[in-house]
Amino acid sequence: FSLGVPLSSLPIISAALGLLRFAWQRQAILQAEIAQLLHNVYWSSSLRENDARAKLDARMRQDCPLSLTSHRFISFLHHACEGEYALGLPDLLADTKALMDVAQDNGRFASPAQWAETFTTALEVTRWQGERSISSHEYQAIESFKNVLQQLLSLAPLIGKISANEAIKRLTQLCKNKIFQPERKSQPAIQVMGMLETSAEPLDAIWVMGMNDHVWPPITRHNSLLPAHIQRNTKTPNASSEVQMAFALAIHERLIKSAAQVTFSSAEKDGERKLRTSPLMHGIPELASKPEISLTLAESLAQASTRDWQWLDDNQAPPVKPGEHVGGGTGLLKAQAICPAWAFYQYRLNAKRLGEPVNGLDVMERGS
């Protein structure tokens, strides 16, 4: 994306903010948020304990309520690492406890500078960034996050001492406002741009998508704080359909002259609703044939190879071995009729759907 994305939307930064919220939040946390942290690769021994984390998530869905406090989760995690069916999560348990110790020792009001230092320590004890080597983009995101922490320091003269939750809220907002665009050594082959963006260099080709009449020209959007007739008379942006048409025509003319090859496309349907093309496309000739679809990686490798490829038809499951028993009775026949793939997963691989956490008794426990 040519304009970049909010820093908070990057997975490695989202993991850091999620860990901080988990540590200092005193109210109950939804299981979905805890599960998201469990499956995140950017902290603790995420690679070595990946399978055990998934089993912990499945067990948590079954044994825990819909939401639980961080301290209750620690107790649940400690219990899951003991006994006959203990999960191998020593690093997760140690790093989570270390994170909660930092939060417990720093739970009072403090200045933004103190919170920035505390948050850095909290992420260090959880081994934020994970086990694997980070990419260039992730490294740049981490450096940008450090700069945001420095921005948090600049708020000290304005807000004084604040609570941890307020500091995390301010830090999250700063990350949302920070637009991250990684540096590149060369110009990217493909850029995703908005209608109002322009490229500093000539483009080989442009593909403009979504040219439907309900999208382009943009619909009228009056400013609710000003009288509508004044906006129309002064031709302010978004004031009337005439203003929007003039605006769209100007953008349209610029797009046509921005590259040697310009393609406009529109959607035919939105679900069951048929869509119409934008009126600005009526004077543009249609393509004689549909554009070629890019080959997949497998197809590209097959064409470049000089050897004969062996094609394997694997739409049939392996046959049942002699002496192998497949249970299920009529349930197997019903599942096979509805979805053969799911019947194979359930009765041959013994795969089960993850349970949905609920507060109190679920439907099976309540009965009819």
Alpha carbons 280 and 260: distance in angstroms, whole number? 19
Q: Spell out the domains of the chain, with CATH numbers in brackets.
A: 5-180 (1.10.486), 203-281 (3.30.160), 324-358 (no CATH)
For the chain, residues with pLDDT lower than 70 are 1-3, 185-188, 198-201, 360-368
* φ/ψ of residue 106, rounded to 5: -135, 60
Q: Note the pLDDT tens digit of each residue in 22-55.
A: 999 989 999 999 999 999 999 999 899 999 999 9
Cβ contact 99:77 at 8 Å: no
The label of the residue with tokens 């041959």 reads 348
pLDDT given at position 78: 93
**Which phi and psi angles does 316 have, rounded to 5°?**
-115, 135
| Residue 207 parent element (H or E) | strand 203-208
Which residue in the block uniquely carries the two structure tokens 């060369």? Answer: 186
Backbone angles phi, psi at 5, to 5 degrees: -135, 160
Amino acid letter at 85? Y
Q: What is the DSSP string of 3-37?
A: T-EEGGGSHHHHHHHHHHHHHH--S-EEHHHHHHH
pLDDT one-digit tens code per residue, 189-247 = 777 777 777 665 678 888 888 888 888 888 888 888 888 888 888 888 888 888 888 88
Secondary structure string (H, E, C) spanning 221-266: CCCCCCCHHHHHHHCCCCCCHHHHHHHHHHHHHHHHCCEEEEEECC
For residue 31, count other CB atoms closer than 10 A to its CB: 21
Sign of CA dihedral 293, 298, 304, 307: negative
pLDDT at position 323, please? 83
Q: Which two tokens stand for residue 76?
A: 């649940």
Positive or negative torsion for Cα 156, 158, 164, 170: negative
Q: How far apart are CA 61 and CA 236, in angstroms?
A: 54
Place of tokens 């994305």: 5
Predicted pLDDT of residue 314:
72
217 cis-preceded (ω within 30 degrees of 0): yes
The pLDDT of residue 366 is: 54
DSSP conformational letter for 186: S
Residue 333, Cβ density class (10 Å: 0-12 exposed, 13-18 middle, ≥19 buried):
exposed
Structure tokens at 138: 């992730």
Q: Are 91 and 125 in contact (CB under 8 A)?
A: no
Q: State residue 361's pLDDT score.
A: 57
C-alpha 342 chain-centroid distance: 27
